[in-house]
A = this chain, B = another copy of it.
């Protein structure tokens, strides 16, 4: 109770208010490729979790905001600037990291895989199908699940999936993306009807190329209608 009082009411933090704690952010970076939802992971080298996949994360710096830290990681890892990023949950279990007390705040982000293919090769980074991951290092499986669930809730009401697609895309690609995220089959006619009604799409009057079948029309996201990408749409 004394500690509460000191903390809530009176001046500076005293030495014993601090302890050896590290703060990190972990990014669940989603991508979409070959009809599958994928997540960017890296092989874990610490002995406790040798060989398992882990998420991309880093310690937060003393003078760095949480959001800034996660943007930094994304930039460093994917080279991408203008990505969708959303804080999901903070994981603070005492024993979650073998190296000590590390609290991590999880973010999910949505990127178009094609936009940064080049950066991947010389690295141990890897796009892994979300559905095919059963085990990860640390509590990263739990983090991944939490972020996936949040993504699923999000896409139902909010136009965020466009961050996973190239600028121009067909309705088939869009539908297949929703099916991959939600893990369900959708009716093509109802899907199209709904999207046209919502007015989220702009018809580019162009056709797909290099597809082994009748090409579909290409669309782009009606961004003007929603303002900044990362802003929540009500």
Contacts and interface: CB of A to CB of B under 8 A. Distances in A.
Interface of A: 1, 3-4, 7-13, 17-24, 42, 44-47, 54, 56-67, 73, 76, 87, 89-94, 99-103, 105
B21 A63 contact: no
Given A3-B59, A7-B24, A18-B22, A92 B65 contact: yes
16 contacts: A3-B59, A7-B59, A8-B44, A9-B44, A9-B45, A11-B99, A12-B99, A17-B59, A21-B23, A23-B92, A66-B90, A66-B91, A66-B92, A87-B89, A87-B90, A92-B105
B9 A100 contact: no
Contact of A1 (B46, B76, B102): B76
A135 B44 CA distance: 46
A87 B22 CA distance: 20
Closest 6 CB pairs of A and B: A66-B92, A9-B45, A19-B62, A90-B90, A13-B99, A4-B58
A13 B102 contact: yes
A78 to B, nearest CB: 13
Given A42-B8, A54-B8, A105-B90, A62 B1 contact: no
Residue of A19, A61, A92 most packed against chain B (CB within 10 A): A92
Given A58-B4, A100-B13, A23 B20 contact: no
Nearest to A88: B89
A66 B19 CA distance: 15
A94 B45 contact: no
Residue of A24, A76, A91, A101 most packed against chain B (CB within 10 A): A101
A18 B21 CA distance: 6
Contacts of A101: 62
A54 B42 CA distance: 42
A1 B75 CA distance: 12
A21 B13 CA distance: 10
A22 B64 CA distance: 14
Contacts of A90: 66, 87, 90, 105
B9 A62 contact: no
A46 B11 CA distance: 6
